[in-house]
Structure 1
């Protein structure tokens, strides 16, 4: 890792920007959560509406954002996304000062576009200064920052909120987002210029071409299907994790904090060593799905906190294998000009299923109880990983069979 950072200072600056962005997101998320609860006297419905506003743009507009990201200069798009999110934080300060819940919802909805443009542009931007052989390590290091903030972010966000209040926490968030934009501005890259038509018809054509490309790419199409199961598993665990504690293990809900720390720690440790594995990317993604599926079911296999916590750690390892392998696979198997659209096609599928599953989780829990819901979804996820393993193996063998023919033709 150190050797890679020393010979690639541009990635170091990008990585520092992601650290600032991740911390800013957590400070913002915790502050918004407490702000909504304070304004509504602890209303769970209001909190759910706010969460929906943050996720809705991803599956409603993800494909259009991906098309625009593929047209625009990636560096300027990322800088603009960070700056835009900082401006929205100013609007949140106004919402706090006026006590307007609807303005908070609007800020949550609009701010999601900044996140979308950053995510849809970042993979292609990395391709401009990270060589193919280093992309799996780069993806692993990005997951390290994400996992570390997942582990430390809630406590840091709460500390800022308690220490400097709502307005102060949002001011910290603004500073972090602007710092990220400044770091990105120092990265010098050369980028191909887009020749796409600057009309709505041209954008819609780009969306169609992007979906057509994703559907016909032998690696992306299986990932679209696998993200249906991936999104379902993520949606279930996001909602039902607390019920595993209270209903299945019969423990107080406060133990949820300990389980969240265990999950964050597992993801952090996994992100440190997965990038160093020699496992090919087309094996890492299905392998991760199988691991995640088996140990999702394992969380409710035995009535023991330690068994559940251990399964959660291994479930987190599986998720990191999927995330890192998928990011590196897309960067190496998707053309540069389609990075945004292919990535957003997958993200839209994942988030659409995840949000739908989150909405259904309460009903499923009440109807079937926690154990069968978790176990069946875990087994389905593991089965989908096994199917994906066979699909990718057939694709790679077909590519290897074509190599001699291409060599002879040359």
Structure 2
């Protein structure tokens, strides 16, 4: 990995930019969680509504965003989306100062659209300066930065929130986004093909969207991901909302202790991102087994009301999640044509997040009716079944390749 970073300074600058971007996102996410819980009096339903507002745009606009991500220049899209996210943070500061949950919900919804464009353009942007034979290494390094920020982002964000408050914490988020923008701006790439694509009219959006979906369905790698993502997304939606209530309701700990569990998850993800790239498995198996192990870890979080038992299950969860992420990112950048990167990625994300949104929207009510333990356990079973289905479809559609 060190040799790859030394030999590819453009990826190194982009990689550093992902650290600052992830850091800003973590501060924003923790501030949002704490402020919504504070303003709503700890309401699971209010928290569920806010999470719905953050993820619903992926389901509603994902396919369209994919079209424009394929049309537009990747670097320009990432830079513009970063500027948009900065502006949303300024508005969010105002909403927090006004102590308005409605405004917070609205800003969460709108800012998620900027994040969509930012993420949709990233894989193809990386392909512009990372050769195909190095893309698994690039994916592993990307997972390493995400895992490290998962380890340190939550406690740092929690400390900032407690020491300087929500508004000043979001000011730091803006500064980190500015640093990310400067670093991406410094990465020089040639995008002559995308400049021509950007001249297409609005009339062709629907046709290009259908073409992207058709390509994804007929791609023997993408089709299993599309189908299995239905089950995986539903399980993921439950844990997205209920993780805080595993801490408070199931374990009986103060909400600030969620930061400790997130740190443990970060340790598990960081270690997994270092170890898993050395495992000789096909990327298809990384994906399917990753889903299964993630589901087992999720169910294990509520198997026994002990901090240590939940922490161990989080490490198992992290192992599966990293395997899934590395496998999927590598498959996307090696088995999907460059001109379909945005649409194919958004097709998978839209399916995952569509069912994730449905689960998140109902998670608060399910938690109040059934309690957190059976709901999370059911989510783990559903997620693991998604992995089994994915493995069966891979076996049917193609022979795994190392």
Structures share a fold, TM > 0.5? yes
Q: Secondary structure of 1:275's partner?
A: helix
Q: Secondary structure of 1:397's partner?
A: coil
TM-score (norm 1): 0.87
The farther-off stretch of 56-65 and 93-102 is 93-102
| Structure 2 partner of 1:91 | 91
2:297 maps to 1:285: no
| Structure 2 partner of 1:146 | 146
Aligned counterpart for 1:262 among listed residues 264, 276, 281: 264
Query: Does the 8 Å CA contact 2:36/2:101 hold for their aligned counterparts?
Result: yes
The farther-off stretch of 229-238 and 97-106 is 97-106
Q: 1:294: how far off?
A: 2.9
* Runs of at least 5 residues in structure 2 that lack an aligned partner in the other structure: none
Change beyond 3 A, Cα 1:164–1:378: closer
User: 1:181-200 deviations in whole A, cap 9, x for unaligned?
Assistant: 11111111112234366333
Distance in 1 (CA, whole Å) between partners of 2:313 and 2:80 is: 40
Query: Does the 8 Å CA contact 1:242/1:253 hold for their aligned counterparts?
Result: no
Query: Does the 8 Å CA contact 1:281/1:328 hold for their aligned counterparts?
Result: yes
Q: 1:108: how far off?
A: 1.8
| Structure 2 partner of 1:120 | 120
| Structure 1 partner of 2:21 | 21
Query: Does the 8 Å CA contact 2:158/2:259 hold for their aligned counterparts?
Result: no
Query: Does the 8 Å CA contact 1:295/1:312 hold for their aligned counterparts?
Result: yes
Q: Secondary structure of 2:398's partner?
A: helix
Distance in 2 (CA, whole Å) between partners of 1:358 and 1:164 is: 30
Q: 1:222: how far off?
A: 0.8
The farther-off stretch of 267-276 and 8-17 is 267-276
2:3 maps to 1:9: no
Q: 1:133: how far off?
A: 1.9
Q: Secondary structure of 1:25's partner?
A: helix
Q: 1:373: how far off?
A: 4.5
| Structure 2 partner of 1:337 | 339
Aligned counterpart for 1:228 among listed residues 221, 227, 230: 230
Q: 1:154: how far off?
A: 2.2
Question: 1:175-194, aligned counterparts within 5 Å?
Answer: 175-191=175-191, 192-193=193-194, 194=196
Distance in 2 (CA, whole Å) between partners of 1:302 and 1:225 is: 32
Change beyond 3 A, Cα 1:379–1:159: closer
Q: 1:349: how far off?
A: 1.0
User: 1:324-375 deviations in whole A, cap 9, x for unaligned?
Assistant: 1101101111111111111111111111111211233345456666555444
Q: Over alpha carbons, which structure has the higher Rg? A: 1
Question: 1:204-353, aligned counterparts within 5 Å?
Answer: 204-242=206-244, 244=246, 251-253=252-254, 256-302=258-304, 304-353=306-355
Q: 1:118: how far off?
A: 0.9
Question: 1:368-387, aligned counterparts within 5 Å?
Answer: 373-387=375-389
2:74 maps to 1:74: yes
Number of residue equivalences: 399
The farther-off stretch of 68-77 and 265-274 is 265-274
2:108 maps to 1:108: yes
Let me know the Cα RMSD of the aligned residues: 2.8
Query: Does the 8 Å CA contact 2:50/2:105 hold for their aligned counterparts?
Result: yes
Distance in 2 (CA, whole Å) between partners of 1:108 and 1:242 is: 19
Q: 1:321: how far off?
A: 0.7
| Structure 1 partner of 2:398 | 396
Q: 1:226: how far off?
A: 1.5
Change beyond 3 A, Cα 1:290–1:46: closer
| Structure 1 partner of 2:54 | 54
Distance in 1 (CA, whole Å) between partners of 2:29 and 2:312 is: 28
| Structure 2 partner of 1:131 | 131
Change beyond 3 A, Cα 1:34–1:81: same
Distance in 1 (CA, whole Å) between partners of 2:299 and 2:358 is: 20
Distance in 2 (CA, whole Å) between partners of 1:108 and 1:375 is: 28
Q: 1:302: how far off?
A: 5.0
The farther-off stretch of 294-303 and 283-292 is 294-303
Query: Does the 8 Å CA contact 2:239/2:379 hold for their aligned counterparts?
Result: no
Distance in 2 (CA, whole Å) between partners of 1:247 and 1:106 is: 28
Change beyond 3 A, Cα 1:200–1:379: same
Q: Secondary structure of 2:399's partner?
A: helix
Change beyond 3 A, Cα 1:83–1:137: same
